[in-house]
Amino acid sequence: MRLRYITLFIVSMLLFSCHKDEENNNLVGTAQWEDTAPVSSQKGNTAIQLQGNPGTQWYAHITEGEEWCSFALSTATSDKEGSLVDGTTILYVYFSENTNEESRSASISIRIGNGEITTLTLTQNGQKSSSETDPETKPETNPGTDGKPQSTNAWAEIPAYKENPSYQYVTHLTELNGTAVRNYSICYDKSHKTALWVAYPLHKCYLGSIDRTNEWVYDPEIGNEYQIYVKKAYKEYPTYDRGHQIPSADRTFTRDMNAQTFYFTNQTPQIGQKLNQGIWQKLEEVIRKNYTCSDTLYVVTGAYFANSNTKATDNNGVKVDVPTHYFKVLLRTKSGMTGKWVNQCKASDLQAIGFWLENKAYSETKVTKAICKKVSEIENLTGFTFFPGIPAEVKNDFNAIDWNLN
């Protein structure tokens, strides 16, 4: 009898051990939507959060709906794989507009490590269930060409497209009041591992009370090998900050739009204490508080390299080029409340201005016309054409009084 109980105990322990091993195997990682609500009928994107042990490999496949869903913005990509570098990865799913009246669904299968396959369903509303954003809070959303912005039909803030094998153009989308809108667009130079420009609309509908996410991560649309890895500060800190191009404070309405400002592609090694934390921060505040209007304000922020002699060191010990200058160019209507898009306005109704700063320590933090330039001057310096759909006369001059500068 005793031998029978011992045998039963051993068998029970073995079964329990197998069950725990299977349970642990199944808990290698998790995959879940950041927002489980149906997405808008408009073109946009949504996000899946993958979590698990750092270094764990993962694989995702769109099993249904691949004709309208993709893991890439500008190409049809139904398979994607990678590793959980820091234990967490955001997997973006892009979708086209649903022109049908009824909703539709897609299925995405994900395996993390040797765990079980998780199947997630993406539901997109049809035209019957879609609601438009309040026109008073809706920024301009006239679409340009994915991947290659064009001067004739792109959003107003997008500079003219320039062909260069080192350049990659990306637009990050976000959801605003149930509608997919652009968050910001970049021209990324893979040779410098820097965005040469970051273009975005600034409007009250992007501003709220969300705190900084402060989670620096890889940009999912650009190969990791082309990015600077700065999960932590540069080795030369406090000399260099991870300086934002589109400020975190300009995207505080939702967590997703703020989190996208913490992509490695949106930062550069920028002098910290008396530039990024000084006059540059003050300039960002002035733009946000004084120039945002009922009509949309269009901003292009960028980095410029007069040379590549100075280097900074990322968290992997890789040496990267340090920009020599930074700039911002702005465009808006003079009254700020015309109710028109800028491409519908006369030259006399518009105003534009540029700001040009060296990547150095500044003793003053006050924003004055001393750091201002004509937009056309910054075009000549950088080689980019800004606000290409706007009459040249708007970019050939600026009135400091119109911008409350002296």
**Domain boundaries in the chain?**
29-129, 167-403
Give me the percent of the chain exceeding a pLDDT of 90: 67
Burial class (CB in 10 A: 0-12, 13-18, 19+), 127: middle
pLDDT recorded at residue 15: 43
Q: Which whole number is the average pLDDT over 100-113?
A: 93
Name which of 70-74, 162-166, 357-361 the model is least confident about: 70-74
Q: Which residue has the higher pLDDT, 241 or 7?
A: 241
pLDDT recorded at residue 28: 77
Integer Cα distance of 376 and 395 in angstroms: 5
- Is the pLDDT at 97 greater than 90? The verdict is no
**Residue (of 295, 352, 345) closest to 329 by Cα position:** 352
Topology at the third CATH level for domain 29-129: Immunoglobulin-like (2.60.40)
Task: Quickly state the pLDDT bin for 42 (edges 50, 70, 90).
Answer: confident
pLDDT recorded at residue 154: 62
pLDDT tens, position by position, 280-306? 999 999 999 999 998 999 999 999 999
DSSP 63-123: EE-TTTEESSSSS---EEEEE-TTSEEEEEEEE----SSS-EEEEEEEEETTSPPEEEEEE
Does 201 sit behind a cis peptide bond, omega within 30 degrees of 0 on the bond before it?
no
**Residue (of 293, 287, 192) closest to 246 by Cα position:** 287
Task: Quickly state the pLDDT bin for 27 (edges 50, 70, 90).
Answer: low
pLDDT recorded at residue 147: 43
**Please, what CATH class does the domain formed by 167-403 belong to?**
alpha beta
Q: Which whole number is the average pLDDT over 331-343?
A: 90
Q: Which whole number is the average pLDDT over 104-126?
A: 93
- Amino acid 65 reads G
- Is the pLDDT at 348 greater than 90? The verdict is yes
Integer Cα distance of 316 and 264 in angstroms: 13
- Is the pLDDT at 399 greater than 60? The verdict is yes
Q: SS3 for 180?
A: strand
Task: Quickly state the pLDDT bin for 138 (edges 50, 70, 90).
Answer: very low
Instruction: Answer yes or no: are the C-beta atoms of 202 and 292 closer than 8 Å.
Output: yes
Q: Which whole number is the average pLDDT over 260-266?
A: 97
- Is the pLDDT at 55 greater than 70? The verdict is yes
Beta bridge partners of 185: 171, 199
Integer Cα distance of 303 and 47 in angstroms: 29
Q: Which whole number is the average pLDDT over 6-21?
A: 43
pLDDT recorded at residue 25: 42
> Mean pLDDT of all residues in the chain?
86
pLDDT recorded at residue 287: 97
- Is the pLDDT at 148 greater than 60? The verdict is no
Rg (CA), the chain: 24
Q: Which whole number is the average pLDDT over 3-25?
A: 43
Name which of 38-42, 187-191, 266-270, 389-393 the model is least confident about: 38-42
Quote the tokens at residue 211: 């705190």
Q: Which residue has the higher pLDDT, 90 or 348?
A: 348
Beta bridge partners of 263: 217
Q: Hey, CA dihedral for 314, 171, 287, 304, is it positive or negative?
A: positive
pLDDT recorded at residue 243: 97
- Is the pLDDT at 84 greater than 80? The verdict is yes
Q: Which residue has the higher pLDDT, 184 or 14?
A: 184
Beta bridge partners of 332: 351
Q: Which whole number is the average pLDDT over 358-380?
A: 97
Burial class (CB in 10 A: 0-12, 13-18, 19+), 159: buried
Q: Which whole number is the average pLDDT over 84-88?
A: 73
